[in-house]
Amino acid sequence: MSDSENSVHKVVIIGSGPSGWTAAIYAARANLSPVVYVGVAKQDPGPILPGGQLMLTTDVENYPGFPEGVAGPEMMMKFEQQARRFGTEVVGEDIVRCEFSSDGSPHTLHTSGGNEIQANAVIISTGATANWLGLESEMKLATSGGGVSACAVCDGALPIFRDQPLVVIGGGDTAMEEATYLTTFASKVYVIHRRDTLRASKVMQERFLSKPNAEVLWNKTVIDCLSAPDAMGNEKLTGVKLKDTVTGEESVLEAKGMFVAIGHTPATKFLRESGLEFDDAGYIDLKTRSSKTNFEGVFAAGDVADAKYRQAITAAGMGCQAAIDAEHWLGERGLH
């Protein structure tokens, strides 16, 4: 905690992914003395780690400034170091409940450590978590760079996936978009769907199916991820075990990469009773291009308010916006 638990912080940032750390960097350089609640590691059912989804990404090759690529955890460590350099205070707890004020008084936040803190401005950057199949083998490979990912746009162009057979799990527009993207790099892309029809729009289906290396495997579910050690002794995906949802027959499909595209869940469970407004998908509803929510002094940034792009660079940009919006809001009220 800070020197005085009873003091009112200018800015509290909830979350420690690209948006949270970027907001902290901007807020700290604006002398707002930000406090970042980074959260604690947990399973829900997949891994949720301080630092966000990049903590599950081995190589990030599409973030400007890293021409040779950078490991996701290393990138988040650099973001944190930069935020700390300018005086950001970091607390290793979750915010578990929020009481947002509608009368201009400070907002009250409750921590997992049993503390109650107050803040004039709050930036919510808790992100969203990928929905996983829930297989032990899937989680093992996803957390070790073993060829399982929840973001084809982030990871699909990596060398380990090029000219290899890949599988995409899902049947919606996101699955079709990711599968179509992968056809540029893969020798073959299989979409595995548990039903005999796709939920994706016709145009998205046709775009994928028009590719010569595209195929849909109907009425199939993945029941296990198969792997073997590579030359360096690291476990890498070699295939997936499938089960037919109609006949129950099991089979094995060779694959070097598996991309899970069955949706994301915004990390907003702790906000459900706060009065904050959400869109139909459960993301924080930002009605304008700014980061302002329906509460004065409460801002949102990154994947917690972005169901469309879900990229590190867009999240970082939104973190910048939130910090600037918070600085202006505090200044207008004589709190900065």
Looking at domain 8-129+264-332, its CATH class is alpha beta
**Distance, first Cα to last Cα, the chain:** 21
Q: Where are the domains of the chain?
A: 8-129+264-332, 132-260
Number of residues written out for the chain = 336
- In CATH terms, is domain 132-260 a member of 1.10.260.40? no
Write the pLDDT tens digit of every residue in 5-15.
Answer: 558 999 999 99
Report d(CA 309, CA 316) in Å as an integer: 12
128, 303 contact by CB (below 8 A): yes
Residue type, 138: E
pTM: 0.82
Identical fold between 8-129+264-332 and 132-260 = yes
Residue 193 has pLDDT above 80, yes or no: yes
Report d(CA 3, CA 11) in Å as an integer: 15
CA distances from 7 to 231, 326, 328 (A): 55, 18, 21
Residue type, 86: F
Write the pLDDT tens digit of every residue in 294-324.
Answer: 999 999 999 999 988 889 999 999 999 999 9
Write the pLDDT tens digit of every residue in 228-268.
Answer: 999 899 999 999 999 999 999 999 999 999 999 998 899 99
Catalytic residues: 151, 154-155
Write the pLDDT tens digit of every residue in 134-148.
Answer: 999 998 998 888 999
Closest CA to 240 of 148, 113, 333: 148
Residue 174 has pLDDT above 60, yes or no: yes
How far is residue 196 CA from its own chain's centroid? 30
- Hey, what are 45's tokens? 């059912």
Helix (H), strand (E), coil (C) string for 184-198: CCCCEEEEECCCCCC
Average pLDDT over residues 94-112: 93
Report d(CA 264, CA 283) in Å as an integer: 10
